[in-house]
């Protein structure tokens, strides 16, 4: 969901003539065969339409489909938060508009002491939360909203994905409940 939402935002901005850069600090799971969609950094590079190479979108990639901090540990490296922030600023410098996709959720560790949320705070970007539509999404999404706001992040919205062509009552209720309780 996150990659599709981020790519859709990039593509929409590019379609209206904006120059946009995409950024995702880490991609794991490259050992797995590609699925229906291109790999995250490849999809984001193509959607941004600004000539970015996938390596410009994502400075750190790992084979195993694991949490970034653990994938890095198994590879014998530790991700450098300052280098990730610098890579994001470098990506944004060419266009002025940066769409940054997280890795997992806000509290996923990039290092043992630095999370996706820490990176979001340093970048100071508003947050768009990609949420599932079905059972369990209310708690998960409201916790994510709370974790973002507790850190001082602005929650710009929640995108429930994939939204079905013919949503059932639970999906409509989940959307309404998250909107009302979460104030989004």
Q: What is the DSSP string of the chain?
A: -HHHHHHHHHHHHHHTT---EEE-SEE--TTSPP-SS--HHHHHHHHH-S---HHHH-SEE-SSSS-HHHHHHHTT----HHHHHHHHHHHHHTTS-EEE--SSSTT-EEETTEEHHHHHHHHT--EEEEE-SSTTHHHHHHHHHHHHHHTT--EEEEEESSPPSS--HHHHHHHHHHHHHHT-
* pLDDT on residue 162: 94
Q: Give the predicted TM-score (pTM) of the model.
A: 0.92
Task: Give helix 40-48 / helix 2-15 axis angle, nearest 10°.
Answer: 10
* pLDDT on residue 128: 97
Q: Show the tokens assigned to 136.
A: 């369990």
- Which of 6, 21, 24, 159 is the catalytic position? 24
* pLDDT on residue 49: 86
* pLDDT on residue 9: 96
* pLDDT on residue 93: 85
Name 73's Cβ contacts closer than 8 Å, sequence gap at least 6: none
pLDDT in tens, 30-65: 999 888 889 999 999 999 987 889 999 999 999 999
* pLDDT on residue 37: 87
* pLDDT on residue 71: 97
**Residues in the chain with pLDDT values less than 50:** none
Active-site residue, 24 included = yes
């Amino acid at each position: 969901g996150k990659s599709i939402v981020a790519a859709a935002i990039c593509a929409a901005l590019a379609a209206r003539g904006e120059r946009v850069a995409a950024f995702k600090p880490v991609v794991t799971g490259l050992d797995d065969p590609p699925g229906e969609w291109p790999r995250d950094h490849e999809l984001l590079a193509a959607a941004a339409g600004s000539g970015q190479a996938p390596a410009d979108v994502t400075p750190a990639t790992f084979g195993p489909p694991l949490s970034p901090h653990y994938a890095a540990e198994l590879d014998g490296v530790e991700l450098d938060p300052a280098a990730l922030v610098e890579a994001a600023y470098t990506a944004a410098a060419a266009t002025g508009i940066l769409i940054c996709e997280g890795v997992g959720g806000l509290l996923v560790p990039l290092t043992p002491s630095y999370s996706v949320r820490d990176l979001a705070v340093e970048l100071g970007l508003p947050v768009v939360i990609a949420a599932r539509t079905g059972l369990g999404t209310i708690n998960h999404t409201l916790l994510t909203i709370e974790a973002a706001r507790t850190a001082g992040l602005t929650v710009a919205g929640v995108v429930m994905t994939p939204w079905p062509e013919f949503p059932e009552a639970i999906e409509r209720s989940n959307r309404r409940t998250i909107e009302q309780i979460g104030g989004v």
